[in-house]
Structure 1
């Protein structure tokens, strides 16, 4: 693999950074006192915040998922008609627009909802097309590793968002008076500028992806599917740092042409064909792999980890700032063993090892949490402090569970090894839909 191939793969992987940043930023914004007071979900009583108010967490996630579902369902058509590179670029611009709408929201939460819907459209579309584009420009012997860069960037985006916005959150929990104003007043320690800034910072990765996609080549496979073989061979030569007559370039071109010809001979693919008698068994294997991955409980930990740590007895700073950031860092670092092993140990081996480890640490998290002890009063405050040793043992189990999960995301790439070449786009869409809805 040369540097140009690597840079192209990393650029397209920034679509994962957008997804990770979106997930990370909303997890923090939704617990910001300034955000909740501004939209009147909570009230400031002079000494404390009234915790009895409308909850936006589930509604916000549902709207985002709805947008992502629509984007995923449109991705295959748009990618085939306009090309992966161009569609990803436009999707990044749409993401930027959604971020601006969220950050400039006025009193009504409708603008937040619209912004979330728009960013969801972009994430759903690019979540299908970015891995597809990477797999079409990557050398065959490194396709799995480079395709996993999307997952790596997703975890990195969560880290970036959580680190930046944890600092912002810390500032917004000092002095909540005066938060009904649109921006900062000179004598206020905190203001609505914090949550607006947190949301508007999504513009940076959005514009970054849109700009960088202008400089990467079109997919050689897409060009061949449009009978633009001369352009395809030039791009293959550039990707391989060789001439158009080079044996490796000609071999890759021939393989792409044969694949395109086979696809045309088979006719246009459809979602219904995934359940035909020919490949029904493979489809259900892939579906069940993805379904059980979601049912492991990883989303509960990543989305509600602050509440989990709080229930374990940690204070607000530890449960909202320190421990989530450590966990997100573990999530990022633990992606690398999977990237290393995907081509060396095989997808099935990694899946089995990771699943067994997750089962063990799931049980240890439950057991240690039970042993922490501690009693709460009617308001949910601890009147008898939990046992510190078991507290940290429970947290360590959570971290190890997240580490183990990094070995199991390989099913996103594993289905390409199950002879789905004619239906890869359709299956990728359905897997993303299943991931979002389960």
Structure 2
């Protein structure tokens, strides 16, 4: 079937939509006038308790995500990537329903945790599934769809929250509607994934070579005897055979020197992605815009919605940039520079705003600060947003890929929960220092990539051993991006397909004659 890899990737990436929507929707729900009252809490009588509960409502989703990312690995390796994605999506739907029907805070928190389990599991599974079915020349671009659906989810959650805040009368329905909408993409995953192809690497690892070959030919839209299919099958079989020859257990394989280095890189990339500060803004954007000088809740949520639009626009740009000569390394380093500059300027503006008399109008400093929030979104969304997921999904051997991705994704969610919990405290105690801290992390991230992350763009999953076998210091590697070679390979594959089609047509014509 033509474009099956794109169709499968798009459907799978609704897991990213869940990720983004659940991340963003809570920021507007928490400022709904009846949310806490409907759950049995009086915000005016219990302000300190409300502040604590806000952190719990946000952080429990991430705690569930961390658990899901670790535990789903056992299902993904045994019963396949498709089964695990469907199971995770069902769990998410149950969590979404619990949030909608909640009449007390305990049920709401339980729903957040259960939904988080499903989101965290899919955040590990979907990038891995995409990497294992995508052609190497399109792996980065298809992987970017994951981040694109995340920010689409974030953006829509902001605007749906804004619409509900302004067009639905204050009451339970005002916050139940945005929380209920998240069930729809979960249902799409449950229904759609069973019709998609299984992961090629999983089929091969479980000895299903004939099915793997048929699936590969179907995904690439060429005959099973096409040279490109034969070559890719040989690479897959060779990699699987090498893994089977190893007598060590998978848990001990992770701690082999070459694999441990990759695991360290993946964990640090996921840790750094959270300490860019992106989710500090995603979760608490209204409060951040309030500190800048925007007074009303509607205006704060509106500015947050614009922030979501900026994120979507530049993930769309990254879709066309990720598989160019820039590669993974340079894109991450450029993003680090942009984020560092944005946060340092934002911190400076916040510092000067705090020196002004209370309730001062939003002046030039405030507008510059708002623009810097958007500039940060630009730097993040074409670099550390999509690239981290792509790199983590492609650098591990097939035999331990699911286990390594579980660990790296769990690190992401653990740091996500930490950010959710400490950001309100930092914004209260070090309002401008918060942005200097995130800006300083951007410097560290850029240096980490320069020294330790080799270029992986354009290499097959089976070539990663060679990539990471060149030494620890990545800046000494051959980090060229083989764009032209991939283009030539693509043209040759198209020519072979056309030649085969013409030969079959000629044979058919001769037979008729």
Quickly name the TM-score band, shorter chain normalised: 0.7 to 0.9
1:35-50 to structure 2, matched below 5 A, reads 35-42=35-42
Indicate conservation of the 8 Å contact 1:14/1:153, yes or no.
yes
Matched with 2:156 is 160
Within 5 Å, which residues of 2 pair with 1:270-419? Answer: 270-271=250-251, 273-317=253-297, 319-344=299-324, 345-372=326-353, 374-376=356-358, 382=359, 385-406=360-381, 407-409=383-385, 410-415=387-392, 418=395
Matches within 5 A, 1:5-44: 5-42=5-42
Tell me which residue corresponds to 2:174.
194
- Residue 237 of structure 1 deviates from its aligned partner by 1.6
RMSD: 2.2
Residues 235 and 11 (structure 1 numbering): CA distance in 2 closer, same or farther, change over 3 Å?
same
Change (3 A) 1:164 1:61: same
Name which of structure 1's ranges 280-289 and 56-65 shifts more when overlaid on structure 2. 280-289
* Secondary structure class of the residue paired with 1:314: coil
| Contact preservation (8 Å) 1:374, 1:387 | no
1:391 offset after TM fit, Å?
Answer: 1.1
1:398: how far off?
0.8
* SS state at 1:190 partner: coil
Q: Equivalents in 1 of 2:204, 2:300: separation in Å?
A: 50
Deviates more, 1:307-316 or 1:1-10: 1-10
Provide the secondary structure at the position in 2 that maps to 1:375. coil
**Ranges in structure 2 where 5+ consecutive residues have no aligned partner:** 416-513
Distance 1:341 1:100, change over 3 A: same
Aligned to 1:92: 89
Q: What's 1:437 paired with?
A: 414
State how far apart, in whole Å, the 1-side matches of 2:288 and 2:262 are: 37
More helix by share: 2
- 1:271 is displaced (CA, Å) by 4.9
What TM-score comes out, normalization by structure 1 length? Answer: 0.87
The answer to whether the 8 Å contact 1:25/1:165 transfers is yes
Deviations along 1:372-393, one digit per CA (max 9) or x if unpaired, are 35433xxxxx2xx234222111
User: Secondary structure at 2:34's aligned position in 1?
Assistant: helix
Deviation per residue, 1:142-186 (Å, 9 max, x gap): 1122112111111111111111121112346xxxxxxxxxxxxxx
Which residue is 1:138 aligned to? Answer: 134
Q: C-alpha separation between the residues in 2 aligned to 1:43 and 1:366?
A: 30
Partner of 2:447: none
- SS of equivalent residue, structure 2 residue 102: coil
Structure 1, 248-257 or 86-95: larger mean CA deviation: 248-257
Distance change >3 Å, CA 52–CA 24, structure 1 → 2: same
The alpha-carbon distance between structure 1 residues 33 and 387, as it changes in their structure 2 partners (threshold 3 A), is closer
Question: C-alpha distance in 2, partners of 1:27/1:267?
Answer: 50
With over 3 angstroms needed to count, the CA separation of the structure-2 counterparts of 1:415 and 1:113, relative to structure 1, is: closer
Shift in Å, 1:267: 4.5
What displacement does 1:268 show? Answer: 6.1
- Aligned partners of 1:268 and 1:244: how far apart in 2? 34
Q: Secondary structure at the match of 1:236?
A: helix
Deviation at 1:62, TM superposition (A): 2.6
Structure-to-structure mapping, 1:221-300, within 5 angstroms: 221-267=201-247, 270-271=250-251, 273-300=253-280
Cα distance in 1 for partners of 2:248, 2:312 equals: 39
After superposition, residues 171-186 of structure 1 pair within 5 angstroms as 171=167
With a CA cutoff of 8 Å and minimum separation of 6, indicate the structure with the bigger relative contact order: 2
1:54: Cα distance to partner?
Answer: 2.5
Aligned mates of 1:77, 1:22 — CA distance in 2? 25
What is the CA distance between 1:411 and its match in structure 2?
Answer: 2.5
Give the whole-Å Cα distance in 2 for the aligned partners of 1:208 and 1:419.
29
Check 1:71–1:38 CA distance in 2 against 1; reply closer, same or farther (3 A cut).
same
Which blocks of at least 5 consecutive residues in structure 1 are unaligned?
Answer: 173-188, 377-381
Change (3 A) 1:298 1:269: farther
For the Cα contact (< 8 Å) 1:73–1:429, is it kept in 2? yes
Contact 2:69 2:409 in 1 (8 A): yes
Change (3 A) 1:7 1:416: closer
Deviations 1:343-372 (A, max 9, x none): 221111011111011111111111222333
SS at match of 1:40: coil
State the TM-score, normalizing by the size of structure 2: 0.75
CA distance in 1, matches of 2:315, 2:93: 27
Change (3 A) 1:269 1:122: farther
SS of residue in 1 equivalent to 2:254: helix
